[in-house]
Structure 1
Amino acid sequence: MQLLGTTKVIEHKTRTQLVAEAIRAKILSGEIKAGDPLRQAALATEMNVSRIPVREALLQLEAEGLVNFEAHKGATATQLSASQIDEIFDLRALLEAELLSHSIKNLTNQDLIDAELVLTELESAMEAGDTHLVTGNLNSRFHAKLYSRAQRPQTRELVDIYSKNSERYVRMHILLAGGLTTAPEEHRTLLDLCRAKETNKACDFLKKHIVGAKNDIKKLLIKIEDEKK
């Protein structure tokens, strides 16, 4: 994997950013599983970089909740946990509803058209079974467009952090907990409420959308944990 072979990309992103993106993608796709060790020397060799950007990238991913550092063990991919999911998703519901409440009245017709175009792409990806696109870029772009007029940069930064923290859980929801069938209709409803400028209804629906996903994933995680006992 010649991660840093393209100088055009390096002009815009640091080595640490590129390494973090590569490791994040491996964790979120399941290539690196929860509990797997993340050996700096092996990652540096694979990605054709020194250990310094690898360590910096792992520290960045630790802040996102994707990596855990343990004494005498080093870095590992974090475990999926039913107990952890409550805090992450409850915070997402509060913060994203806050962003939407400030954004919705300022959304332009073009914003709504752009959001619908992304949603159409997302629905096509779902129909094609492309869960990587569904749970990653397209889902993020759809929600980001709806929040884009909030003018709350610090809240947005927190939302980005918790969104990254929850990506693996969202992927689990799409793949294993029924999200593939419920998400398209829920996204359409949210978009319609935004188009109608129904701020309170849209924010309430967004909270239910996020908390509903949390509850579905929790049931699945508890079942998995019980089966391991």
Structure 2
Amino acid sequence: MPEKETFEKLAYITIKEKILSGKLRVGDHIAEASIASELNISRTPVRKALAQLEAEQLIETKANRGATVIESEMSAGHFVSLLEIVEMLVLQTISKLENKRIPFDAQIFEEKKEMLRKHLQKKHEDLYMEVLFDSLKSFVHHMQNSYADRFIQMLESDFDLKAQKEIKVLPIILAEETEKGMNSVLKNLQNESYEEAKKDVKELINKFIVQTFR
């Protein structure tokens, strides 16, 4: 990835994390110069990151006022951008499991899968979502990265409070595909087939993205 795109992505993730964590609240001004100084980059990638966040309706930019955090719903574009960050975090977790030779205990996830199945059968959709996010948090926690842990927690809160109805039903619509994907990921991790596990993750996230725009 070209250096400029890397800086832009860094600025994008940094600002979004500040918004989702509440460090930047509705009405707060986002200073390009401050973000650029914090990340030790130029203001150009920060400006491009702000443009992307504005397209996701997280901020608005006005002449002579700059960028300001606004109240927003979770649009389809916003949801997809979050899915892409989730994919990145899960893939990094798998890489850490491989590189650090961290033992992977699949039993806890087998138990969570069973809980998901029961909640789905009983049409307890809220409980299903709780366990689904808990499974994601438990997996990403293998990274031992406080940013990753906070991001998943913020994603759950953001999804619950801001997701539009058509987005909130996606995990239920894709419940069968999610279970198949989890089964394959767990099996490949147990077999230490890390690249295959990464493929499984990418395929599952892509199914969510495709379904988002249907």
Normalising by the residue count of structure 2, what TM-score does the alignment of the two structures yield? 0.57
Contact 2:120–2:128 under 8 Å retained in 1: yes
Whole-angstrom distance in 2 between the partners of 1:96 and 1:126: 24
* Residue matched to 1:144: 137
Does residue 90 of the first structure (1) align with residue 84 of the second (2)? yes
Q: How many residues align?
A: 151
SS in 2 for 1:118: helix
User: Could you tell me whether the CA contact under 8 Å between 2:89 and 2:140 is conserved in 1?
Assistant: no
Instruction: Provide the alpha-carbon RMSD of the alignment.
Output: 3.3
| 1:131 aligned partner | 125
Task: Tell me the equivalent position of 1:200.
Answer: 195
The one-letter amino acid paired with 2:189 is C
Q: 2:97 pairs with 90, 93, 103, which one?
A: 103
Distance of 2:193 and 2:124 partners within structure 1 = 32
1:213 shift after superposition = 0.8
Q: Which amino acid aligns with 1:128?
A: K
Q: Give 1:64 deviation, angstroms.
A: 4.9
Equivalents in 1 of 2:200, 2:157: separation in Å? 21
Q: Could you tell me which runs of 5 or more consecutive residues in structure 2 were left unpaired when the two chains were aligned.
A: 1-16, 29-68
SS at match of 2:151: helix
Residue in 2 that maps onto 1:69: 26
Give the TM-score normalised by structure 1.
Answer: 0.54
Tell me the alpha carbon deviations over residues 25-72 of structure 1, each in whole angstroms, 9 at most, x when there is no partner. xxxxxxxxxxxxxxxxxxxxxxxxxxxxxxxxxxx996359xx8369x
Cα offsets for 1:100-139 (capped at 9, x unmatched): 321364134xx3111111111111111211111111x211
How far did residue 202 of structure 1 move?
0.9
Q: Structure 1, unaligned stretches of length 5 or more? A: 1-59, 220-229
Distance in structure 2 (CA, Å) of the matches to 1:184 and 1:172? 16
Identify the residue that residue 174 of structure 1 maps to in structure 2.
Answer: 171
Percent of residue pairs identical: 9
The 5 A counterparts of 1:1-229 are: 63-64=20-21, 69=26, 78-103=72-97, 105-108=101-104, 111-135=105-129, 137-166=130-159, 168=163, 171-175=168-172, 178-219=173-214
Distance in 2, matches of 1:146 and 1:107, equals 12
Q: 1: CA distance between counterparts of 2:200 and 2:158?
A: 22
Pick closer, same or farther for the CA change 1:149–1:180 going to 2, 3 Å.
closer
Q: Do 1:101 and 1:150's aligned partners in 2 also have CA atoms closer than 8 Å?
A: no
Separation (CA, whole Å) in 1 of partners of 2:209 and 2:156: 13
Q: 1:163 to 1:210 in 2, by over 3 A?
A: farther
1:152–1:61 Cα change, 3 Å: closer
Whole-Å separation in 2 of the counterparts to 1:152 and 1:69:
27
What is the CA distance between 1:77 and its match in structure 2? 6.4
